[in-house]
């Protein structure tokens, strides 16, 4: 399960992903909403500090891949348009 907190005025937001104790799934794909397709976003897992870059189009169409290995587990992921990444 995941939810998105989007700040359209600053082209950034957070994804909160949660895994229940009984879930056997380790990977899920979540399409993001409200992103500008023409921008590149820096996506950072705030727990692992892993960072990737992806277009708004890819994050909206193909989605964000989230891997949660433990049971239960969670991830907090920040995304920001490259022009706003230093905010």
Q: How far is CA 72 from CA 8, 23, 54, 68, 84, in A?
A: 31, 8, 28, 8, 33
Q: Is 25 exposed, middle or buried (0-12, 13-18, 19+ CB in 10 A)?
A: exposed
pLDDT for the residue 83: 78
**Positions in the chain whose pLDDT score sits under 50:** 86-87
How many angstroms separate the most distant Cα atoms in the chain? Answer: 40
Instruction: Give the pTM.
Output: 0.91
Residue spans of the domains in the chain: they are 2-84
Q: How far apart are CA 79 and CA 31, in angstroms?
A: 13
**CATH class (in words) of the domain with range 2-84:** mainly beta
């Amino acid at each position: 399960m995941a939810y998105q907190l989007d700040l359209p005025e600053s082209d950034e937001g957070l994804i909160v992903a949660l895994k229940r104790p009984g879930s056997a799934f380790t990977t899920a794909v979540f399409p993001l909403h409200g992103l500008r397709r023409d921008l590149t976003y820096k996506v950072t897992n705030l727990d692992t500090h892993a960072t990737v870059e992806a277009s708004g189009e890819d994050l909206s169409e193909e989605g964000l891949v989230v891997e949660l290995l433990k049971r239960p587990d969670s991830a907090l992921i920040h995304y920001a348009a490259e022009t706003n990444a230093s905010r």
